[in-house]
Amino acid sequence: MDIFSLEFLSALITIVFIDLILAGDNAIVIGLAARNLPKNQQKGAIIWGTVGAVGIRALATVLVVYLLDIPWLLLAGGILLLWIAYKLLVDENDHGDIKAGNTLWASVRTIIIADAAMGLDNVIAVAGAAHGDYRLVILGLIISIPIVVWGSTLFIKVINRFPWIVYLGSGVLAYTAAKMITHEPKLETFFDENPVIRWSFLLLMIVIIIVGGLWKNASRAKQAPTTEKSRETH
């Protein structure tokens, strides 16, 4: 893939957007892990913790890109990423188990370990969007590092103000997942010979994930007043 081609640029933009949309959890973890440190040490914990976490994630992503060449793993990765796209919309994340470090390196260690534990979604999504091009993985991470370090908290505020951005991000993940499935070597010939079916499949996956998320969130919103009333009566 030519580095100056539209295909390369669009894939790079997709990866950076994926990194951003999935950076909310990372920003929360970073904040929780560094909250007990003195102000003058918090910035160091954030920077070193993020650098360490991104380094591990880069290695993991390169490994996954390599593994996706194994037959049927693109299909498995695509299905898993579809589930991740859905969970992004409906999950109510609880980070109460993230312990704050009392020293700089304790906080850095917490950030790296927590990020590695919850970074599977990002790794699979970026590996799928990279289409086997390691340059995309590295470039995407290089662009994303300063955004995650300095801009992720701002991005969380933007998402809270404009919730539709999460649905857009979930749609991008669903599209990436569907492309992984259509690029599965065992199925690629079928989809290449039937472009109408391929594009219909891509669109259908996006619609299913977004509509499923909307339906689940609407059901949860309807149930919330009932749950609150039952608590009050008890």
Rounded to an integer, the average pLDDT of 24-35 is: 66
Mean pLDDT across 95-113: 68
Tens of pLDDT, residue by residue over 181-198, are 999 988 989 999 999 999
**Gap between the Cα atoms of 170 and 135, Å rounded:** 24
pLDDT of residue 233: 58
Average pLDDT, the chain: 79
How far is the C-alpha of 78 from the C-alpha of 197, rounded, in Å? 17
pTM given for the model: 0.74
d(CA 106, CA 129) in angstroms, rounded, equals 34
Dump the DSSP string for 118-167: H-HHHHHHHHHHHTT-HHHHHHHHHHHHHIIIIIHHHHHHHHHH-THHHH
Stated as kind and residue range, the H or E segment containing 170 is helix 164-182
The larger pLDDT score, comparing residue 142 to residue 166, is at 166
Confidence of residue 92 (pLDDT cuts 50, 70, 90): low
pLDDT of residue 213: 92
Could you give the CA distance from residue 211 to residue 234 in angstroms, rounded to a whole number?
35
